[in-house]
A = this chain, B = another copy of it.
Amino acid sequence: MTSLWIKDVRPWGGPATDLHVVDGLFVAAPAGPEAAVVAGGGRIALPALVDAHAHLDKTSWGTPYRPHSAGATLAALIDNERANRGDLGPVRERAGALLDRHIERGVLHVRSHVDVDPTIGLDSVAGVLAAAADRAGQVTVEVVAFPQSGLLTRAGTAELMAEAIDAGAHLIGGLDPAGFDGDPIRHLDTIFGIAADKNAGLDIHLHDRGTLGAWQIERIAERTKAFGLPGRVTIAHCYALSTVDDVRQGSLIELLAAADIALTTTVPGTTPQLPLARLMAAGVRVGLGHDGVRDLWSPYGTGDLLDKALMLAVTSGYRQDADIERTARLATEGGAAVLGLPDYGLEPGCRANLLLLPAESVVEAITQRPVDRTVIAGGVVVS
């Protein structure tokens, strides 16, 4: 039996207390005299950050700076990546470097989309799974087999996605069934078919805005019910929801809630943010993701999910404490609900995955994002 006594911390910025961990789980009873001690010093305790939308295979984290080389369209970005990704070095190393950064900042659960296509096959899936295995016990990684270069438009990809599940991937991905892949019904029927066959969940990129995206949300909701997958489907980005009128937005939210479809946002720079308060009120699960970190798509990203939470708060126009705290909930409990993490939280019985932050309040933790954090995974100090 190993035990840990985390003294004088403030869960969610509330009153100071001690947290006790035995064999990796929080327990209600005080730790015994044999427990190792972490001096909290009045710091805030949050459950581990959850990055609900990452692309670990794409990152150049830990490698030299490269100027951005792509054009501005989605197709140009995808072509640029296929042309240049070979120069980046092994996925296992790059993904591992970013996971190390995640651990340092307290991001202990990650859902990563990983490219699958006929050129790279399952190599990137294997690389990300290996990087995660290298850090077992410190961070958990869910892999989504992602048809970045097209599903219908790139023959052999669907078969590879099914194989990816056999090789250890956890979910089936999708990408703009209409706007990018060109045949929304066939795209959706294909990925839902694979998911049902493999008993896997789905996580679908949907950038298509306005009515085109809204129409696809409705088709996804239909299939979620028809294939018996409520609670196991996520729509990523879902820009359509904030680019249709209020009435349509309300009816889409009802559909999402009824099919228990989760959403993830990565905080777009130039698209209105998701209507978070309305989604929460309807009971829709919403997670926060960092998206690409310093890759062939974008030079941005720090690996610190609190940077994204700040960006979300500012671009949502939040000033009130309760609103800003909502972004911290998304970065933790929201993502945990999207991933379906068992035993998540700071309560007795939960796995002791947490971070301690020197801040007076959760709002201050978001606005200042202090980097000197104590990170504990399974009751062990990992950073």
Contact = CB atoms under 8 A, between A and B. Distances in A.
- Size class of the contact patch on chain A: 20 to 34
Contact of A302 (B70, B299, B360, B368): B368
B319 A70 contact: yes
Nearest to A64: B360
Contacts of A324: 299
Contacts of A311: 311, 314
A16 to B, nearest CB: 15
Nearest to A301: B367
A140 interface: no
When all copies of this chain in the complex are counted, the total is 2
Interface in A58-77: 64-65, 67-68, 70, 72
B302 A319 contact: no
A315 interface: yes
Contacts of A359: 65
Nearest to A307: B310
Contact of A72 (B272, B319, B363): B319
A363 B301 CA distance: 12
A364 interface: yes
A317 B270 contact: yes
Contact of A65 (B299, B314, B363): B363
- Nearest first, the 10 A-B pairs at minimum CB distance are A65-B360, A269-B314, A270-B317, A67-B321, A269-B315, A65-B361, A65-B364, A300-B367, A68-B319, A299-B363
